[in-house]
């Protein structure tokens, strides 16, 4: 069984693996537990050992860097550390630059594909040698440290992927909203927030979405209930679509809701587990063409991209020429050049070509 001190130290291992700010107090606690006057936790990339990161207690960082620089010398501290099997410990003798002799108890925490991590306890030779029990305790600690690092890596990877996904959804020109297990809104991208805020067809109160059209509202929540009960195996297995009426002079909003697969046991403990995703299209929202992308995709000049932007917004060639302060003949010349670059023969074909191009209104 683990002693009380080691049990508490193991608890701080998980904190240190998840929060770099907790590594310093962990190294101090480890030194205290093992009766070491000095200690260090070190990390270095396998392919670039010049990037060496030490966290020290009771010893200057440059001393640990000096010892690391000697890693090519056989039987030196870091020579042994780099060659040990992760999780095993060893005893070694070393000394500081001022000649103070030290005994080291060390072990490699982890030897991933990219990084090596080591934990080193340093004791003055005037004290007793590290015992076999201390070595076994350090091996136990390294085992827990390695597990906590693996767990943290998974969470970091998941967090990064989640942030990337949300960033893409946020800037998608289609409105996107996610529903949790209670039918509550758990995410709205920028376009969905705009539609909900500016349309009388929706009301959002305390993360509950209400469709003003009662028929559409009842159908939507009946679909969400069915999705919860049937638990879709794949996206698109269950789908709901509807036109949401607006004012007399505005085209109806178009919504499509897809049931999302989820684990019932996990959802029972987390009502934010995604139940369904709603896509909202506002036909009255015309996304501007991105001028930079027009130049990248078709090789348009800046002037041609400006003309394309004006034509796509609904202006005639004459109106566009007047707005851009060019002659109609110049506009016609630019238009013919755009035909050739885009591989079309008519203005209608050119506009259809633009409709298939990314139109995110980011940049100019």
The answer to whether position 360 is within a domain reads no
User: Could you give the number of structural domains in the chain?
Assistant: 3
**CA distance linking residue 147 with residue 27, whole number of Å:** 17
CATH value at residue 305: 1.10.10.10
In a domain, 317, yes or no: yes
Domain boundary among the residues 281, 302, 332 is at 281
136 and 175 together in one domain: no
pLDDT, one tens digit per residue, over 336-357 is 999 999 999 999 999 888 876 6
The pLDDT value recorded for residue 239 is: 87
User: Residue range 286-302: average pLDDT?
Assistant: 83
Whether 148 maps to a domain, the answer reads: yes
Query: Of all helices (H) and strands (E), which one includes residue 276?
Result: strand 276-281
Number of Cβ within a 10 Å radius of residue 300: 21
146 and 249 assigned to the same domain:
no
Say whether both 188 and 243 belong to one domain.
yes
CB 359 within 8 A of CB 290: yes
Q: Are residues 350 and 254 in the same domain?
A: no
Provide CB contacts within 8 A for 317, sequence distance 6+: 311, 328, 331, 332, 335, 347
What rounded mean pLDDT belongs to the chain? 87
- Amino acid 363: pLDDT: 38
What would the mean pLDDT of 275-290 be, rounded to a whole number? 80
Q: What angle do CA 124, 126, 131 make, to 5 degrees?
A: 75
Q: Is the pLDDT of residue 1 over 70?
A: no
Report the CATH number that the domain containing residue 246 is assigned in CATH. 3.30.450.20
Query: Is 176 found in the same domain as 54?
Result: no
59-77 burial, b for 16+ CB within 10 Å, e for fewer? Answer: beeebbeebbeebeeeebb
Q: How confident is the model over 268-288, as a mean pLDDT?
A: 82
Q: Please, which residues have CB within 8 angstroms of residue 248's CB and are 6 or more apart in sequence?
A: none
Residue 33 tokens, joined: 């537990």
96: buried, middle or exposed (CB in 10 Å: 19+, 13-18, 0-12)? middle
b/e burial code for range 284-293 (CB count within 10 A of at least 16 → b):
eeeeebbbeb
Q: Which of 241, 333, 237, 318 is nearest to 278 (CA)?
A: 241
The reported pLDDT for the residue numbered 364 is 38
Instruction: Return the CATH number at 103.
Output: 3.30.450.40
Structural domain including 101 reads 4-163
Contact 39, 24 (CB under 8 A): no
Q: What is the pLDDT of residues 175-191, one digit of tens each?
A: 999 999 999 999 999 99
- Per-residue confidence band for 111, with pLDDT thresholds at 50, 70 and 90: low
Q: Is the dihedral of CA 149, 153, 154, 160 positive or negative?
A: positive
Answer yes or no: is 340 within a domain. Answer: yes
- Per-residue pLDDT, 13: 84
Estimate the crossing angle of helix 347-355 against helix 328-342, to 10 degrees: 60
Within a domain: 362: no
> pTM surpassing 0.75?
no
Give 23-79 as a DSSP string. Answer: HHHHHHHHHHHHT-SEEEEEEEESS-TTS-EEEEESS-HHHHHHHHHTTTSTTSHHH
What's the confidence (pLDDT) of residue 235? 62
155 and 190 co-located in one domain = no
What local confidence, expressed as pLDDT, does residue 285 receive?
67
Phi, psi at 259, each rounded to 5°: -70, 140
pLDDT in tens, 121-170: 999 988 889 999 999 999 999 998 888 888 877 777 888 888 888 888 89
Q: Is residue 51 part of a domain?
A: yes
Question: How many of the other CB atoms lie within 10 Å of CB of 223?
Answer: 19
Residue 210 has pLDDT above 50, yes or no: yes
Q: What is the DSSP letter of 85?
A: P
20-34 burial by CB neighbour count: b if 16+ within 10 A, else e? eeebeebbebbbebb
The answer to whether 159 and 139 have CB atoms below 8 angstroms apart is no
253 or 231: whose pLDDT is higher? Answer: 253
Domain termination residue (choose one: 163, 183, 200)? 163
Q: Helix, strand, coil % (nearest 5) of the chain? A: 45, 20, 35
More confident residue, 166 or 59: 59
Residues 79 and 121 in one domain: yes
Tens of pLDDT, residue by residue over 309-335, are 889 888 999 999 999 999 999 999 999
Residue 182: CB partners within 8 Å, gap ≥ 6? 271
Percent of all residues in the chain with a pLDDT value above 70, rounded to a whole number: 93
Residue 141 sits at φ, ψ, to 5 deg, of -65, -40
Structure tokens at 325: 């302060």
Same domain for 76 and 214, yes or no, is: no
Q: Are residues 259 and 334 in the same domain?
A: no
My answer on whether 90 and 231 are in the same domain is no
pLDDT at 222: 94
Nearest to 34 by CA among 146, 140, 148: 140
Task: Count H helices and E strands in the chain, helices first.
Answer: 13, 12
* Higher pLDDT among residues 190 and 50, named by residue: 190
Residues 241-254 pLDDT 10s: 998 888 777 788 89
Same domain, yes or no: 209 and 329: no
200 and 327 in one domain?
no
């Amino acid at each position: 069984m683990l002693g009380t001190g080691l049990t508490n130290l193991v608890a701080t291992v998980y904190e240190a693996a998840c929060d770099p700010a907790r590594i310093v107090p962990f190294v101090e606690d480890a030194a205290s537990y093992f009766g070491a006057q000095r200690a260090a936790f070190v990390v270095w990339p396998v392919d670039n050992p010049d990037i060496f990161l030490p966290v020290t207690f009771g010893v200057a960082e440059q001393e640990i860097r000096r010892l690391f620089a000697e890693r090519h010398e056989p039987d030196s501290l870091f020579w042994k550390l780099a060659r040990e099997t992760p999780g095993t410990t060893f005893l070694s003798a070393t000394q500081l630059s001022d000649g103070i002799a030290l005994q080291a108890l060390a072990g490699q925490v982890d030897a991933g594909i990219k990084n090596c991590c080591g934990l080193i306890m340093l004791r003055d030779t005037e004290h007793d040698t590290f015992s076999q029990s201390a070595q076994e305790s350090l091996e136990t600690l390294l085992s827990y440290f390695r597990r906590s690092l693996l767990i943290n890596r998974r969470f970091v990877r998941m967090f990064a992927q989640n942030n990337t996904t949300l960033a893409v959804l946020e800037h998608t020109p289609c409105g996107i909203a996610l529903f949790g297990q209670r039918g509550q809104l758990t995410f709205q991208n920028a376009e969905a927030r705009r539609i909900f805020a500016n349309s009388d067809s929706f009301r959002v109160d305390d993360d509950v979405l209400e469709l003003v059209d009662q028929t559409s509202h009842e159908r939507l929540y009946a679909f969400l209930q069915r999705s919860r009960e049937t638990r879709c195996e794949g996206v698109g297995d269950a789908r709901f679509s509807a036109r949401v009426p607006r004012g007399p002079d505005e085209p109806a909003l178009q919504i499509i809701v897809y049931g999302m697969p989820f684990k019932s046991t996990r959802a029972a403990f987390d009502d934010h587990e995604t139940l369904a995703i709603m896509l909202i299209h506002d036909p009255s929202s015309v996304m501007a063409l991105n001028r930079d992308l027009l130049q990248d995709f078709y090789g348009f000049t800046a002037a041609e991209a400006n003309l394309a932007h004006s034509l796509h917004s609904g202006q005639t060639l004459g109106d566009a020429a007047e707005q851009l302060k060019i002659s109609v003949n110049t506009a016609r010349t630019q238009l013919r050049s755009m035909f050739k670059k885009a591989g079309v023969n008519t203005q209608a074909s050119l506009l259809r070509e633009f409709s298939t191009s990314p139109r995110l209104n980011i940049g100019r």
